[in-house]
Amino acid sequence: MGRRIPIPERPERIVSLVPSQTELLADLGLDDEVAGITKFCVHPEKWFRSKRRIGGTKQLHLDRIAELDPDLIIGNKEENDREQIEALMGKYPVWMSDIRRLPDALNMIRSIGAITGREAEALDLAGRIGEAFARLDFPEFNRMKVAYLIWRSPFMAAAADTFIDEMLRLAGFDNAFKNRMRYPEISGTDLQDAAPDAVFLSSEPYPFREKHFEEIRDHCPGASILLVDGEYFSWYGSRLLGAPAYFNGIRKKLER
């Protein structure tokens, strides 16, 4: 984000404002240093049960954060509310990520490792993630067109300029809504006109279930419909290590 963040010494009271980065901090071995997390930071479960919760990603409880007296706050430009982040910046060191592509995520992992004293662990993790994605190899001429839905009533899709779009591309799929930006609201007619080969119903933020398949079939009777784990498509921390294998599994399921 072009900001310089002075951190006078190794942080000992970290507050994480984003679930995927919370999981990363855990995998880097920062159990003692992380003091606060959001109510959506469900991984690891041990932290979800034991760490102080400071509200949601877009509705932070600033009073609870103040009680923790953090020496480092870690957030994300898309997931957190700008006004709240600016209020926190006036009192604490606040490090923000801004992620659209896989290289952004790998750089975030290395950067968080550097500022928390876990540089070697972060370099190793980023390297293994990069290698796992490098092994993905799908022919350009055989890309299945996929509509990735994140919400219903109204339908909302993941379109261009999103991390989900990046994951779809790397997983060998063609985004049916790549001609739109970010997270557009779409109608059933839009979905029909996009003519996807497959429709992915994400587990988050809307909890799609099999009971929603029939609604999708009304608009796309010829498409394959799959429930997918949204964490592998939208979490840009250490969960990326398992994403390539998950994507391979989805492709095999569709091919069958």
Q: Is the pLDDT of residue 1 over 90?
A: no
Mean pLDDT (whole number) for 76-103? 96
* Residue-range definition of the domain harbouring residue 45: 14-101
Same domain, 91 and 38: yes
Neighbours of 49 (CB within 10 A): 8
Whether residues 144 and 250 share a domain: the answer is: yes
User: Alpha-carbon distance 3 to 106, whole Å?
Assistant: 19
Residue 5: pLDDT over 90: no
The reported pTM is: 0.94
Given 48, 76, 101, which residue is the final one in a domain? 101
Assess if residue 43 is contained within a domain. Answer: yes
Give a yes or no: residue 150 inside a domain: yes
Q: What is the 3-state secondary structure (H, E, C) of the chain?
A: CCCCCCCCCCCCCEEECCHHHHHHHHHCCCCCCEEEECCCCCCCHHHHHHCEECECCCCECHHHHHHHCCCEEEEECCCCCHHHHHHHHCCCCEEEECCCCHHHHHHHHHHHHHHHCCHHHHHHHHHHHHHHHHCCCCCHHHCEEEEEEEECCCEEECCECCHHHHHHHHCCEEECCCCCECCCEECHHHHHHHCCCEEEEECCCCCCCHHHHHHHHHHCCCCEEEEECHHHHHCCCHHHHHHHHHHHHHHHHHHC
Instruction: Identify whether residues 175 and 245 lie together within a single domain.
Output: yes
Distance CA 112, CA 74 (A): 9
What's residue 140's pLDDT? 64
What residues contact residue 192 under an 8 Å CB cut-off, 6+ apart? 219, 220
Could you tell me the CATH number of the domain that includes residue 49?
A: 3.40.50.1980
Pair 86, 35 in one domain: yes
pLDDT value at 105 more than 90: yes
Number of folded domains that form the chain: 2
Quick one: 248 and 146 in the same domain? yes
Name the band, by pLDDT with cuts 50, 70 and 90, for residue 42. very high
pLDDT per position as a tens digit, 152-190: 999 999 999 999 999 999 999 999 999 999 999 999 999
